Amino acid sequence: MAISEHFELLEAVEPTVARLLAEHQERRNHWYYHDLIPWEKGRNFRDEPWDESQCTINERARTSLVLNLLTEDNLPYYHSALERHLPKNSIWREWNGIWTAEEGQHAIAIRSYLLTTRNCDPYELEDDRMATMKAGYQPDWRHPAELLAYTSAQELATRVSHRNAGKITEDETCFELMRNIAADENHHFMFYKGVMAAMIKEAPAVSLEGIYRTFINFQMPGVGIPGFLRRSIDIAKAGVYNLRIHHDRVLMPLLEQWGIANLEGLTTKAAELQQRLMELPELVMQKAERFEARFSPA
C-alpha cells in the first residue's frame, strides 16, 4: 500500500474521526490526579531512605503498578509513532494532541502515588525509566490499519490491566486512582475501535490484513522495560494481565464488535485473512493453557 493510499484511507474516515472526537470530549469526565494522591504521606527520601518494609501494598501489586507506569512513560514515542502516519492539518492531529495530553496524566499520577506512599524503590524506578526511554519504541506499522488495530487492542488491554492492578492493591486510594485511569483508557479504546470499524467498511481487505498482522504478533509496548519478562510473568500469575485475559477481554470482544465473522463480499485474500482471524482465539487459548499448566501451583 503506497504512502499516498495510506493518507487517502485516513482522510476517507476523517468524518468518523471528527464525530468520535466530539463524542469523546463530551463523554469523558475530566479529572485531576492531584485530588487523588495522599500527599500527607510523603516524606523526604534523603532524610529517610527507602526500605521495602515501608511498602503498604503487596509485591505483585507493586510490580503491576511499576510495569504499567513504565509503559506509560514511553508516551513520547507513542505520540511520534502515530504522528508519522497522520495527514498534516487534519482532525487526526487534534486527536493525537488530546490523546497525548490525557495519557500524560496517567504516568504522573501513578508515579506520584508510588513515591508518596513509598511503594517502590525511587532510585530503581528512575533507573528503569531512563533505560526504558533510551530503548524507546519503534513499531513496524506498514499501513494505517495496523496502527489502528494496535491502538484499539492496546487501549483495551491497558484498561483491563490498570483496573486489575488497582484491585489487587487492596488500597481504596489506589483503586480509585487506577479506576480513573482505566476509564480514560476505555474512552480512548472507544475512539480507536470506532475508527477501525470505519476503516473496515472503507477498505476491508487492507483492514483485515492490518488486524491480522497486529493480532498474530501482539505485544504490549513495554517489552523494552528492564526485566519485562519476569515482571510480566508476575502480573500474569497475579491475574492482572495474562493470555487468558487477553483472549477473553481483548481478542474476542474486538473480533465480535468489529463483526469480523460476518463480513461478506470479500476478495479471496481477505476471506483467507478472515478465516485466520477467527482461528486465532483458539491458538491464544492453547498458549494460555500451557502457561497455566506451567505456572499453576502444584
Burial group, residue 132, by CB count within 10 angstroms (0-12, 13-18, 19+) = buried
pLDDT at 79: 81
Pseudo-torsion of CA 2, 152, 229, 138, nearest 10°?
Answer: 30
Delineate the domains of the chain, giving CATH numbers in brackets. 3-295 (1.10.620.20)
Nearest to 119 by CA among 43, 54, 195: 54
Give residue-wise pLDDT tens across range 14-44: 999 999 999 999 999 999 999 999 999 999 9
Query: pLDDT tens track of the chain, all 298 residues?
Result: 455 566 788 889 999 999 999 999 999 999 999 999 999 999 999 999 999 999 999 999 999 999 999 988 888 778 887 787 777 788 998 999 999 999 999 999 999 999 999 999 999 999 999 999 888 777 777 888 898 999 999 999 999 999 999 999 999 999 999 999 999 999 999 999 999 999 999 999 999 999 999 999 887 767 778 898 899 999 999 999 999 999 999 999 999 999 999 999 999 999 999 999 999 999 999 999 998 888 765 4
pTM (predicted TM-score): 0.93
Which pLDDT tens digit goes with each residue over 225-249? 889 889 999 999 999 999 999 999 9
Amino acid at site 132: T
